[in-house]
Each structure stands twice: as structure tokens, then as C-alpha cells.
Amino acid sequence: MHAPVVFQYQRALDAFRREGGSPPLLKRMSELISLLDLTTTLNSSLSGAEILDAALLIVMGQLPATRGALFVRGEDGGYRVQASRGLPAGAPAQIDLEPLAGPEVIFRRQGACAEAFDAYGLDVLCPIFKADRPIAVLGLGARADGHPFDDEEAAFLQSVAACAATPIENGLIYHELKRVNQRLSVKVFQLHNLFDVSRELTSSFDDEAIESLVTTTLMGHLMVSRCVLYRTADGRLGLAHARGVRREDLGRAFTEAEAQPVLERLRAPLSVAELPPGPVRERLASSGLALVVPLSAGQNAEGFLAVGERVSGLPFTEEDREFAQTLARQAVAALESVRLHRLSVEQQRRDREMQIAREIQQSLFPRSCPEIPGFEVAALSHPCQEVGGDHYDVIPLEGGRLALAVADVSGKGAPASILMASVHASLRALAGSSPPAALMGRLNQFMLASTQENKYVTLFYAELDPATRRVVYVNGGHVPPCRVRVDGRSERLLAGGPALGLLAGADYESGEAVLEPGEVLAVMTDGMTEAASPEDREFGDEGVLRVLRAHRSQGAQAVLDALVRSVQAWTGPAGCSDDLTALVLKAL
């Protein structure tokens, strides 16, 4: 410890005094002892703040002065009080000084640095230089013995400055190192947290869990006790998550007009005061929120996180803002992946529904066409990607007769296939029970009663008596079937009425045709006649007739195959956009 060494010199001084040593010399010795005391103190193992404090006290004791302050120059050039005694109440913690020319002591009476002298009630300032650069200033108030400061004191103070410069600078460097180290530790902790959170976010599958995690992490890191998360949905900006804030205070969603100016402004974290004025800013401010961090995937923010002031009262640092922004980006990515996951689940659900619709549709087709003397029947329905509402049926009637039906329900998917199922059931129940025209009337009434307004069915229905070769048919708004005679002449079966389910009390008329051996009758749906070529030209009635004429000498199945092949060739690799359904009746 330094006390014994100083003590020995002090004893020598005492002896010198007893022997009548001259006072100026005694004073000089005393100053040298103080400097020795100071130097040993400055080199001691005390902490930085304690060293500065001890140094100040040594100088104040030596002069003596009742008021003193040690200012240390900061990075911004201002001088901050690091140690002080007896300063007037309300003295500022920091002050700017005019540039200091050199290490010469400045007296109050010289007029320089008047602001500092006044603010702290000082009489003398002693700059402490380290290699041409001021690093600190020692200031003292009036001497307790009433003497003014003179050149002797100035010399002592300059000696003090020379001794103190290096230890003070070391202290500053140590301080700076500690600060850098602290910032580094915060960064490391931030990285740990971001890693921790991102791992958890990628395994989260609901919005609530993500929002909860992001808000707690942000609160813990920034040391805030309030955090809210707003997200836009359908144009409105609504509260998705709140902690430390009463939900009722923030409950109502903001309209698009209210939210838009704020979201456009939010490119980076902003303080609430920096937001454009309006209801969003007002409500955030009144709930004690201070910093707003955008949640943005691309250009525009789709919401934000807002946190309250730090509980410590310290301002948010650049690191805080960076951390919040990085966390917000991760949250957006996680929320987006949840949304995509939901979409894919939704798509799977639609696919399943479509699969069910297809199964219903397929189950309604007859397993095989009945054998009838003198005729051949072939039919097929070829589904496209989406399940449409095509249907055909062949129903044996009493007396060897046969009912033939081809229908097309409006719409697609499950609703269409369910409607088709009811048409199928009605046809099966009613076929042969009354003449075809009357039967169509009844089906129309049934459809009107049981379906929605915008749903309808086109139906071609015919009854064939193989004994007389006579076909009685009704065309309910369906694509007119084609009849091709042996000599190649053709005709369309048009007699009937409107599609089923459109007009209450619609009248249906029936038509007749007697099919001579070799004649072909083909009933299609519009998926075949409207099939488009890559140049967007329809296959049309002409296409159908061309195939029928070319293949009319062949059997029903061969004609049907030719039709389907021709349509597929017509549409090319793009395929059909609608179901392909056709029924071919061939008189032998």
C-alpha cells in the first residue's frame, strides 16, 4: 500500500519544519508529497471511478479547495463530470468547452471558458493533455483560505495533469473496451436468440404460436413490458396479439384508409412519434407504445409489431432496432409458410371433393349396355380434369323396349354430380311410365321444385321399340343428336322443349324416327361439339357428321371410337376442357 511511503516523506517534512525550514520550500515539499500520493493512487488497483475520485480529493486537500470536478472528454467532444465535490445544485452533467489550445492552466479572471466557470462555480481549470490531445479537465472552486490561485498553484496543477494523463487515458481505453465487450455480448446473445427463435418458428403451424413467440422474444430482448402485433386482413388492420396492454383499448380494427398512410411510411422501425398523424398513431401512443417495427414480405408492410418504452427508461439503440427488424422478418416468413401450408391443405380438400364427385358420376353410368335384337348401343363418358355434369343411361323397359338418355348438368364439381344423381334416380323411376313428352314435363317440374334457380339440365330422352324400329324422342335443350341414313343424308333430332329446370309449365313435344338397317344415331354433349382446336376452332356438328358419314357402315362401338379419336386429334395435346360424352345407336 502507498500510505507508508508517503508517510515517511511526511515525517521528513515534519522534521524539516521543526528545524525552521522556509515556508515556500515547505509548501513545495508538501506539493511533491501530494504528487507522490497521487501517482501511487493512480497506479493502484482501485477501479477507474475510484481512482478519479481519489485523485480529485488529493488535489482538493492540497490546495485546499472545497469545490472540484474532474471532467472527461467523450467521443462527441463534450466534457462529462466523472468525479466531483461540492458542485452547486443543478450543475449540468456535461458541458461543451471551446477548443483548448494547450495544457496551460486557465484562470477565471482571464475570461475564457466563462460558461464552464459559471455553470460549476469554478475559479481555475487545468486541461489534461495526452500527446497534443485534451482528454480531461480538472476544475477547482475558490481556495478555502481565501487566497487567489497564482502561478505556484498553476505549476502544481500542471504537474498533477502530467501524472494523471496516462492513467486517465488507460481508464478511458478500459472503459471503451468494456463497452465494446458489452456490445459484443449483446450481439452474441441476439444471435443465440435469433437462432433459437427461427428453429422454433419453422416448426410452428399456427399463427397464434408464431405471434406469441415473436412478442415474448421481442419483449425479453428489448426489456419492454408491452407489445402488440397488428396484421392486415381483407384490407383492414386488426390487432392479432397483445401483451401487457388491455385488448379492449386496442380492439377495433383500422380501416384501409386509416392504415394505409402508416403502412406506406413503415420501411424500417420508427418511433410512434415519427408515424404520420392519424388514428393509428393516436391509439398506439395512448396505449403507451413507443416503437413500431414493420412486418413486410416485399415492398409494403402488411402489419407491424409495436412495443412500449423500455422499463429501464433507456432509449432504443440501433442494435435494438436491428434485432426487432430481423425478428419481424422471421415472423413474416413463418406466417407466410403457415399460409401456404393452409392453402395446400385447402387444395387437398378440393381435390378430395373432386375425387368424390367423380366417383359419384362414374357410379351412375350403366355397367353394360343391354343386348337388343337388331340394334347395337355403345356409349362412353370421358372425364376431363374437372368433374363436369355429363351423364348417359340406357334403361330396359317393358315389352323389350329401351330408354336412352344423355344429359348435361350446369356447373361442375360436387354440386353438379349431386344434381346429376337426382336426375339419374328420377329417370330410372319414371322411364316408361308415361309418354316421353309427358315424362319430360314431369321431370321439368321436379327439377324446378328441387334445385336452385341457376341450375338446369339439358336432356335428350328417347324410347326405342326394336320390333317396329321406331324411336320416340324429346330434346330438352340438348345438343341436337345426328341421324345419318344409309345413303349419307343426315338430319338433326330437334323436337322437344327448353332445358329442364328453367321454365315452369314448359310444354314438350316429342319427335319420331324410324331407323332403317344401316342407319346411325349419335347423341353427344357439348363437350364434343365445342371441343376446340389449338387455333380455337370448334369441332362442331360438321365434325361429328363427317365422322359419322365416314364410319356409318361400321358397328356402334367402332363409330363411337372413331368419334372420340377424331375429337382428341382435333384438340391436340392440350386436350378437352369439358367431359366428352357420346351414345351411338346403330340399326343392324
Nearer to other proteins, 7 or 195 (CB): 195
Backbone angles phi, psi at 544, to 5 degrees: -60, -45
Cα Dmax for the chain? 161
To the nearest whole angstrom, how small is the minimum distance from the Cβ of residue 321 to other proteins?
15
d(Cα 557, Cα 304) in Å, to the nearest integer? 66
Our CB check for other proteins shows the closer of 327 and 430 to be 327
User: How many other CB atoms sit within 10 Å of the CB of residue 436?
Assistant: 23
Query: Rule CB under 8 A: which of 175-214 touch other proteins?
Result: 182, 185-186, 189, 192-193, 196-197, 199-201, 212-213
What is the 8-class DSSP label of residue 225?
S
Instruction: Give me the least distance between CB of 189 and other proteins, in Å please.
Output: 6
Shortest distance in whole angstroms from residue 325 CB to other proteins: 15
The CA-to-CA distance between both ends of the chain, in Å, stands at 129
To other proteins, the closest distance from the beta carbon of 310 in angstroms equals 9
User: Shortest distance, CB of residue 343 to other proteins, whole angstroms?
Assistant: 26
When the beta carbons of 199 and 367 are compared against other proteins, the nearer one is 199
**Which of 67, 108, 221, 391 touches other proteins (CB under 8 A)?**
221
Residue 216 CB, nearest approach to other proteins (Å): 4
- Binding region for other proteins (CB under 8 A) out of 223-231, 274-282, 297-305, 462-470: 223-231
Give me the least distance between CB of 346 and other proteins, in Å please.
28
Q: Among 216, 286, 344, 553, which residue sits at the site for other proteins (rule: CB under 8 A)?
A: 216
Q: Which one of residues 159, 225, 426, 490 is an interface residue with other proteins (CB under 8 A)?
A: 225
Region near other proteins per CB under 8 A, out of 64-72, 216-224, 277-285, 510-518? 216-224
Site string for other proteins, 227-246 (x = CB under 8 A): x---------------xx--
Cα separation, 39 vs 19, in Å, equals 28
Contact 291, 329 (CB under 8 A): no
Contact criterion met (CB below 8 Å) for 563 and 547: yes
* 138 vs 227, beta carbon nearer other proteins: 227
Query: What secondary structure does DSSP assign to 70-125, as a single string?
Result: EEEE-TTS-EEEEEEESPPTT--SEE--PPP-SS--EEGGG-TTHHHHHHHT-SEE
Work out how close the CB of 83 gets to other proteins at its nearest, in angstroms, rounded to a whole number: 22
**Which residue, 181 or 271, is less far from other proteins as judged by CB?**
181
The minimum distance between CB 309 and other proteins, in angstroms, equals 12
Among 438, 452, 574, 445, residue whose Cα is nearest residue 509: 438
Q: Which of 230, 208, 201 has the alpha carbon at shortest distance from 294?
A: 230
189/501 Cα distance (integer angstroms): 71
User: Strand 94-95 vs strand 470-476: parallel, antiparallel, or unpaired?
Assistant: unpaired
Q: CB of residue 190 vs other proteins: minimum separation in angstroms?
A: 8
Nearer to other proteins, 181 or 434 (CB): 181
Number of residues in contact with other proteins under rule CB under 8 A: 30
Tell which positions 37-76 bind other proteins, by CB under 8 A: none
Spatial separation of the C-alpha atoms in residues 438 and 429, rounded to whole Å: 14
Q: How far apart are CA 338 and CA 360, in angstroms?
A: 33
Number of H helices, E strands in the chain: 15, 22
Question: Pattern of binders to other proteins over 273-312, x per CB under 8 A?
Answer: --------------------------------------xx
Residues whose CB falls within 8 Å of the CB of residue 55, separated by 6 or more in sequence, listed in order:
38, 41, 42, 70, 83, 160, 164
Q: Which of 223, 268, 297, 486 binds other proteins (CB under 8 A)?
A: 223
Residue 469, SS3? coil
Where do contacts with other proteins occur on this chain (CB under 8 A)?
Answer: 182, 185-186, 189, 192-193, 196-197, 199-201, 212-213, 215-221, 223-227, 243-244, 311-312, 314
